[in-house]
Structure 1
Amino acid sequence: MSSVPARTGRQRQRYEDNLRLVSGCIPYRWTKDNTDQMGETREIIEVLMVSSPKRDDLVFPKGGWEDDETVTEAACREALEEAGVKGILREIPLGIWEFRSKTSQDLCSVEGGCRGYMFALEVTEELETWPEQKNHARQWLNIKDAFKLSRYDWMCNALEAFLRVMAEDRKPENQDQNVELEPPSIVEDMPECQSMSPNCYKRSSTMQHHGMPPKANLLSRATREIAIHFGY
């Protein structure tokens, strides 16, 4: 059972340009799938989303970035509190998005605006119980379903940036794109990770920050290479 209570209140909340600063992540894992046309098992990527209290939708774990933690520590904390997962966090954000709260009961600031930093988190541990379990049920989804259930443009943008990072990671030099790629090894990656907190590790990366993709029908714009890798 998790002994770490969820943080409440906004006494330590960070603000910038009159926007509430938010940090979150897209938790992911590699899993086996038996839908290959040749009858062979392949590996696909799944992402974790959580339910919203009092609303009929799914979101990625995220929450306020507080003044006693780094933005990456905040992302790890939110993943633990809302989704009950720990893992390896990529230190470069997938992007920074500004969005407005849709309900007056959940205002991000006086004007309802948020500036959110999103990261990719490779899940290495799922807890049986977690601090906000009563308010947030978790669900693993394939990429296609995650796009369908992402009701906001910024969530789709974050997913697309996530897929591009994953595709780049899984493409060794001189590797033919039609060959199935093996997932990165958690054991091999751990020595490269810098311990951040009991919740996760931070993986250093030389990958460029992808920033915010333009708004569009993101699923239809996904490249053929990404579609091959992630099965949609």
Structure 2
Amino acid sequence: MTTTLQARTGRELQRYDNHFRLVAGCIPYRLKQNVENPTGDSLSKLEVLMITSPNRHDLIFPKGGWDNDETVDQAARREALEEAGVQGTIHDTLLGVWEFKSKSKQNLKGQEGACRGYIFALEVTEELKLWPEQSSHDRQWLNVWEAWKLCRYDWMREALNSISVLLTGKPVRLLTVPEISENTSMFCLVKSSGTKCVDSAINALC
């Protein structure tokens, strides 16, 4: 008998902390084997999975609301399954925690629409042929340099840098900022090391 997977809908179980809607997500990744690597650069083995966003042309990492009947890492795994159709192992170390405003509320003043996102690294062990939000999200494997160029927001590049350092010990370095990048003011609330690095107010999308 085939079991049909369904995505969660609604916000009845949604977690909040004061005015912040709590969000969990991940960067799905894999380390390619037998890659031609004349420079010895371990980054060349790292690939990350990005997904299309409905009604937009950019690519994003899977993320969504953290519900009160699950842990934050369970929420991140669920979002990866629902949006990207992948399952795997969550890395114990957070890539970071970012605060930003939701797309629909970004032009409003005050705390309305504020989100706090917890982002993990997820090593993919299975790719499903069918997944709950397949009609809304296509998926694409990219090397870290390709992914960097497609990141629309600062938090995505920061998270990509974090996973690169975590897995290879090397950051992603490009000399130019991608043209697709939008003018967003972002801050990283808490890095995986637990240190605070608040720079400015946030105005990105969740």
The normalised TM-score by structure 2 is: 0.75
RMSD of aligned alpha carbons: 3.0
Q: Is the Cα–Cα contact under 8 Å of residues 23 and 115 in structure 2 kept in the other structure?
A: yes
Query: Greater CA radius of gyration, 1 or 2?
Result: 1
**Matches of 1:145 and 1:213, distance apart in 2:** 29
Instruction: Report the equivalent of 1:68.
Output: 69
Within 5 Å, give how 1:21-60 maps onto structure 2. 21-32=22-33, 35-37=36-38, 44-60=45-61
In structure 1, the residue corresponding to 2:79 is in which secondary structure?
A: helix
Within 5 Å, give how 1:10-159 maps onto structure 2. 10-32=11-33, 35-37=36-38, 44-104=45-105, 111-159=112-160
**Matches of 1:120 and 1:167, distance apart in 2:** 13
**Matches of 2:143 and 2:92, distance apart in 1:** 24
Instruction: Report the equivalent of 1:209.
Output: 192
**Matches of 2:51 and 2:100, distance apart in 1:** 19
Instruction: Report the equivalent of 1:223.
Output: none
Instruction: Report the equivalent of 1:162.
Output: 163
**Matches of 1:100 and 1:27, distance apart in 2:** 23
Instruction: Report the equivalent of 2:176.
Output: none
Q: Deviations over 1:148-170 (max 9, x none)?
A: 1110011111111111111249x
Q: Is the Cα–Cα contact under 8 Å of residues 86 and 123 in structure 1 kept in the other structure?
A: yes
5+ residue gaps, structure 1: 170-207, 216-232
**Matches of 1:144 and 1:121, distance apart in 2:** 19
Instruction: Report the equivalent of 2:186.
Output: none
Q: Is the Cα–Cα contact under 8 Å of residues 24 and 76 in structure 2 kept in the other structure?
A: yes
* One-letter amino acid of the structure 2 residue matched with residue 67 of structure 1: N
Q: 1:102 Cα shift?
A: 3.0
The normalised TM-score by structure 1 is: 0.67
Q: Is the Cα–Cα contact under 8 Å of residues 99 and 113 in structure 1 kept in the other structure?
A: yes
**Matches of 1:211 and 1:94, distance apart in 2:** 10
**Matches of 2:81 and 2:38, distance apart in 1:** 37
Q: Is the Cα–Cα contact under 8 Å of residues 49 and 138 in structure 1 kept in the other structure?
A: yes
Q: 1:2 Cα shift?
A: 6.0
**Matches of 2:32 and 2:14, distance apart in 1:** 36
Q: Is the Cα–Cα contact under 8 Å of residues 99 and 154 in structure 1 kept in the other structure?
A: no
In structure 2, the residue corresponding to 1:103 is in which secondary structure?
A: helix
* One-letter amino acid of the structure 2 residue matched with residue 116 of structure 1: G
**Matches of 1:129 and 1:2, distance apart in 2:** 11
Q: Is the Cα–Cα contact under 8 Å of residues 48 and 60 in structure 1 kept in the other structure?
A: yes
Decide whether aligned partners of structure 1 residues 213 and 26 sit closer, same or farther in structure 2, where only a CA change above 3 A counts. farther
Identical-pair percentage? 54
5+ residue gaps, structure 2: 171-190, 199-206
Q: Deviations over 1:111-168 (max 9, x none)?
A: 1211000000000000000000000100001100111111001111111111111124
Q: Is the Cα–Cα contact under 8 Å of residues 37 and 44 in structure 2 kept in the other structure?
A: no
* One-letter amino acid of the structure 2 residue matched with residue 128 of structure 1: K
Q: Which has the higher helix share?
A: 1
**Matches of 1:166 and 1:34, distance apart in 2:** 16
